[in-house]
Amino acid sequence: MGQRDEPSGSPEANDARDARWVEAIATGDRRALGDLYDAHAGLLMSVALQLLPNRAEAEDLLHDVFLEVWRQAHTYDPERASVRRWLLVRLRSRVLDRLKSHAWSRRRPLEQDDRRADGDLAAAFDAGRVSALIEALSEEQRAVVVASYFEGQSSSEIATSLGIPLGTVKSRMAAAMQKLRDLLEGT
């Protein structure tokens, strides 16, 4: 990769640049991994901070995602998704793994729990609760919520990826948010 590629500003050029970096990472190019990290870590970190209970866990998750990119770059298929979306899907998968892990750990008796801070226990409880609430949504509502909050897609991107009108995306999102509010008020 010789000279570092600078973002051009156009989404198509950035997608092409990102794909070149992933291709280089697949051949063992550490600098390309650093460039990809520099270009996307901010977005991934902000999404992780919204989904996980604390900054340290979000930082660990970000590290795990880029370690996975290093190991799995050869599996990237530019025909299926942009690099940005591919990274967000990997992040989402790792978040779900952690939320499931938190839910599992909540089933152990408290005296066996090695976490002592009340904040950690509350955060684990909240993470499991969020996962359960999302599962309570209809399949259509869950699709738009997951695409928006876990994959970082805009309403327009969701409409395109699901093949539905923009207004339908917005109405499903509004209905999902209302259902989540109602469920939260009932607990």
Residue-wise pLDDT tens digits, 75-95 = 999 988 899 999 998 998 888
d(CA 144, CA 155): 8
Burial zone of 144 (CB within 10 Å; 0-12 exposed, 13-18 middle, 19+ buried): buried
- Tell me if 66 sits within 8 A of 37, measured CB to CB: yes
CB 136 within 8 A of CB 179: yes
Residue 32, domain member (yes or no): yes
Residue 186 lies in a domain: no
| Residue with more model confidence, 19 or 135 | 19
- The pLDDT score that the predictor gives to residue 183 is 81
What is the rounded CA–CA span in Å between residue 16 and residue 158?
A: 21
State the pLDDT at residue 92. 87
Question: Residue 42's domain spans which residues?
Answer: 1-110
Q: How many domains does the chain have?
A: 1
How far, in Å, CA of 73 to CA of 88, rounded? Answer: 14
Q: What's at 178, amino acid-wise?
A: Q
Q: Is residue 182 part of a domain?
A: no
- The verdict on residue 64 lying in a domain is yes
Tell me how long the chain is.
187
Could you tell me if residue 1 is inside a domain? yes
Structure tokens at 34: 């650093």
63 or 118, greater pLDDT: 63
Most confident among 53-57, 99-103, 172-176 (mean pLDDT): 172-176
Would you say 159 and 167 are in contact if contact means Cβ atoms under 8 Å apart?
A: no
